[in-house]
Amino acid sequence: MTTEKSTGLTDWARPYYQASTESPFLFYVIFGATADNFAISRNKYLCDGIPDSLEILAYGPDNHPEVIDNFRTANLQVLEDDAGLIAEIARQTHCVIIKGHIQNSENLNYFRNTIGLLTFLLDNGGVAIFDALSLSWWSKSRWMAEIFQPATPQPNSHVVILTSAENDDANTLWFHTRGLLKFGRPDLSIHNVPSHYHSAVIEMFNRFIGFQAFGGMIEQGQEIRMNSLPDNMYCLHSGHYDDPDFNNVHIEIKWPEIY
């Protein structure tokens, strides 16, 4: 999903792009980084400019130190199985927040440039990135291997699929995503998924994540056509940006009424 530019950088194309009134929103916290120097090498970081609408906010011992503590306290439980990274994050006294709405466009160059900026900050004091939309933590090594070095959009690495049991039944799950707001698209949700459909729903979600990230839009009432799922499933636009489960609007995928 990339095309070469005469300038040497690669366009991150959106082959399914449809114009939308919704705008992408990004929100990252880089622990350990400071905002002292932004001489970003264009070729090294695949970044030909920081999006104008992004805010770059720096915090430290002399500038609202509670901000870095608040993000640590609220979100470190996600890293319960990585004691080394938790300890490294706990030692940091500075952080930089990158956030802002981006104008929707027919390419993902804004995302490529933001990834370059984040990678630059990791190379300049940063030890970890917290993605506030997908509630994901990235060590520097994992970010480099999975996000930066592929030099392609990798939407399924930026969107998480979460599950929780419904009605105290461990075999019947609610599946939903977080992170599609980074692409200016709604997240996904489907309730009451029996165990024999879990794999099929994950496959469907991964298809929709890629389709939307690359510019596609799911229509109101759109039917689901997959051999591994029941007939007559359909999509409804739902939710609001204040919903804490998504921090985004979402697509609610419905089972057929006879199911």
Give the model confidence (pLDDT) of 34-46 as tens digits.
988 788 999 999 9
- Which residue range(s) make up the domain with 219? 157-254
How far, in Å, CA of 109 to CA of 131, rounded? 19
**Contact, 39 vs 111, CB < 8 A?**
no
pTM of the predicted protein model: 0.93
Shared domain check, 172 and 144:
no
Q: How many CB atoms lie within 10 A of CB 56?
A: 14
Kindly report, residue by residue over 103-125, the tens digit of the pLDDT: 989 999 999 999 999 999 999 99
**Contact, 188 vs 177, CB < 8 A?**
yes
Residue 208: which of 232, 224, 229, 231 has the closest Cα? 224
Among 117, 152, 187, residue at a domain's last position: 152
* Domain membership flag for residue 145: yes
Give me the pLDDT at residue 1, please. 44
Among 135, 152, 169, residue at a domain's last position: 152
Residue 3 scores a pLDDT above 60: no
How far, in Å, CA of 12 to CA of 30, rounded? 24
Domain count of the chain?
A: 2
Shared domain check, 15 and 143:
yes
**Contact, 213 vs 180, CB < 8 A?**
yes
Shared domain check, 172 and 139:
no
How far, in Å, CA of 87 to CA of 95, rounded? 15
Kindly report, residue by residue over 160-218, the tens digit of the pLDDT: 999 999 888 888 999 999 999 999 999 999 999 999 999 999 999 999 999 999 999 99
With b meaning 16 or more CB within 10 Å and e meaning fewer, what string describes 94-124?
A: bbbbbbbbbebbebbbbbbbbbbbbbbbbeb
Within 8 A by CB and 6+ apart from 114, the residues are 26, 28, 50, 51, 54, 98
**Percent of the chain clearing pLDDT 90 (strictly above):** 81
Residue 4 scores a pLDDT above 70: no
> Partners of 57 in the beta sheet?
97
> Tokens for 50?
């920081």
How far, in Å, CA of 124 to CA of 127, rounded? 9
> Across the chain, which distance is largest between two alpha carbons, in Å?
61
